[in-house]
Amino acid sequence: MKITDLSHLINEDIMVYPGTERPVLQDIDIDGYQEIRITMFTHTATHIDAPYHILKHGRTLDELPIDKFIGPGIVIDCKALAGKEITVDFLKKYENEIADAEFLLLNAGWSLKWKTEAYFDDFPVLSLDAAKWLTNFKLKGIGLDSISLDPVHSIDLPNHHIVLDKEIIIIENLTNLDSLPASGFMFQCLPLKIEHADGSPVRAVAVF
């Protein structure tokens, strides 16, 4: 068995969505033992978007069953689509693999831009038709090595609405996707058990 870590390290220098405050980590000495006080938003680092993040009628992470966060995954290489949309025609080449998976991970190669301003621009995103097409499968989640399922400048976040309405969770800011085989692994992204959570940082891993 091999386990690959797909999560970014959380520190005060981490990339965050434009307008979001970076986390604050304070080392505290209390009567001779150490603790760290952490102040950060739920959508920090490698994290999950729950349906409730966008949809007021959507379920929170703590309302979803625990098996929602574990399942067979596949990786699709979409590095050639920088600055473009991921279309239905592109995804149809992998239709059989998607049908057998519960987690679809989109490898844009964007984790290589981590901690640079280029991380926020021109990453490939699903077309609206592609997002709708993916809801026809048994997917539990869609994972990305970029910061959002929609362009950063998007206000309406249509792809978020489409997939979260079908309770397909979104895992953003993944890394190390190049180290995975195209299929044949189990993906895990267990969130913190936070009451009424609209999102949560996760330690995402692949086991194969």
Catalytic residues: 53
Would you state the structure tokens that stand for residue 77, as one six-digit string?
């290489």
What residue has token string 């001779």? 32
